Amino acid sequence: MEKINAVITGIGGYVPEDILTNEELSKIVDTNEEWILTRVGIKERHVLGKGLGTSYMGTRAVRQLLEKTKTDPMDIEVILCATTTPDYPFPTTASIIAHNTGMKNACTFDVQGACAGFLYALETGANYIRSGRYKKVVVVSGDKMTSITNYEDRSTCPLFGDACGAVLLEPTTEEIGLLDTFLRTDGIGFPNLHMAAGGSANPASHETVENRQHFVYQEGRVVFKYAVSYMADAAATIMGRNNLTKDDVAWFIPHQANWRIIDAVARRLDVPMEKVIVNIERYGNTSAGTIPICLWEWEKNLKKGDNLILAAFGAGFTWGALYLKWGYDGEKA
């Protein structure tokens, strides 16, 4: 029997219209444009309005994906939503998106891989396709990070924004698509990056709200060091075991948490910045949204057969890298 690969056959995306600039932020907390630009590389981030959840963005990304790929929602068999900011603790955000987009024949579930969520969901979705039993899988991935951002904490509030991307995975017997994946979790990062309340260990109470425990807590310097070494090691592992040199790589797509992290990882891999997809200056860190939004924006530049290396790192710590051979030329209209 021929080997079945899972290939991305289309991509949709959604970024909210409202923009929060560095100048506006500097009126809320003690910060400034110069610090944010030089230490992180962000000029502005997009913010989803109050009362709207991640499913609002996911629904729009999926609708665009279905239109671009001319896919009947009734043909989708699996929909995975990678997010750390679900609309509600339950039901899943995937189930809300499926309902909004008319996917009535799909099994749905959420994947929580923090900022590495897209890679985790993509590998999971690809395994459905590789099994031979499923033909159309949607992976929708993104976060409303501004819903868990503490606008009284200047060390985290400039970092985050909101966005969602969605891809369609289909089977192929060509040597394209998701060709290799390296995913890891070590669990040591809990003290350095977490949200302290709102789960079963520490449910919401007056006290947790008063103590502002429903927001991202991050020890930036520690996280920075792990992000660089883990992402670089994961990408180097994937490149090494697939005999890919920097010349074979068409594009390197890292998680967008900090321009300096991206630069340091690219240097370690010896991949020139012209081959590195970066859009952090316009969106900030949208967690599970960063990599799909990069793919969405760069779709027109991608060609069939391009070797793409994706790398991500997030809370847990949870991280990984993925080797993707792109499946089609240019933008699907």
- Please say whether the beta carbons of 97 and 59 come within 8 A: yes
| Per CB under 6 A, 43 contacts ligand UT7 | no
Task: Give pairs for 147-153: CB < 8 Å, separation 24+.
Answer: 147/48, 147/53, 147/85, 148/84, 148/85, 148/195, 148/214, 148/215, 148/216, 149/215, 149/216, 150/212, 150/215, 150/216, 151/28, 151/29, 152/29, 152/212, 153/29, 153/215
Which DSSP string do the residues of 1-23 spell out, in sequence order? -PPPEEEEEEEEEE--S-EEEHH
C-alpha separations of 44 from 25, 55, 182, 263 in Å: 9, 22, 32, 19
CB atoms within 10 A of CB 248: 11
Q: Which is nearer to ligand UT7, 101 or 287 (CB)?
A: 287
| Per CB under 6 A, 224 contacts ligand UT7 | yes
User: Residue 54 Cβ, how far from ligand UT7 at the closest point, in Å?
Assistant: 16
* Catalytic site residue from 115, 157, 164, 294: 115
E-assigned strand segments in 125-202: 137-144, 162-172, 177-185, 193-195
Nearest to 69 by CA among 131, 7, 2, 3: 7
- Looking at residues 139 to 178 of the shown chain, list those that interact with ligand UT7 (rule: CB under 6 A): 154-155, 158
- Residues that contact ligand UT7, how many (by CB under 6 A): 19
User: Residue 33 Cβ, how far from ligand UT7 at the closest point, in Å?
Assistant: 10
Q: How far apart are CA 327 and CA 39, in angstroms?
A: 36
Strand-pair partners of 325: 177, 307
Q: Which stretch binds ligand UT7 (CB under 6 A): 68-76, 78-86, 179-187, 217-225?
A: 217-225
**81 tagged catalytic:** no
Of 8, 20, 115, 311, the one binding ligand UT7 (CB under 6 A) is: 115
Of 57, 223, 264, 308, the one binding ligand UT7 (CB under 6 A) is: 223
Strand-pair partners of 46: 19
Q: Which is nearer to ligand UT7, 101 or 285 (CB)?
A: 285
Q: How far apart are CA 206 and CA 59, in angstroms?
A: 33
**285 tagged catalytic:** yes
Of 22, 54, 146, 285, the one binding ligand UT7 (CB under 6 A) is: 285
User: Residue 284 Cβ, how far from ligand UT7 at the closest point, in Å?
Assistant: 10
Q: Which is nearer to ligand UT7, 88 or 190 (CB)?
A: 190
**115 tagged catalytic:** yes
- Looking at residues 52 to 111 of the shown chain, list those that interact with ligand UT7 (rule: CB under 6 A): none
| Per CB under 6 A, 35 contacts ligand UT7 | yes
Q: How far apart are CA 226 and CA 218, in angstroms?
A: 13
Nearest to 114 by CA among 193, 181, 45, 222: 193
User: Residue 188 Cβ, how far from ligand UT7 at the closest point, in Å?
Assistant: 14
| Per CB under 6 A, 5 contacts ligand UT7 | no
Q: Which stretch binds ligand UT7 (CB under 6 A): 48-56, 83-91, 161-169, 219-227?
A: 219-227
| Per CB under 6 A, 229 contacts ligand UT7 | no
* Catalytic site residue from 150, 164, 255, 307: 255
Binding site for ligand UT7 (CB under 6 A): 31, 35, 39-40, 115, 154-155, 158, 220-221, 223-224, 227, 257-258, 261, 285, 313-314
Positions marked active-site: 115, 255, 285
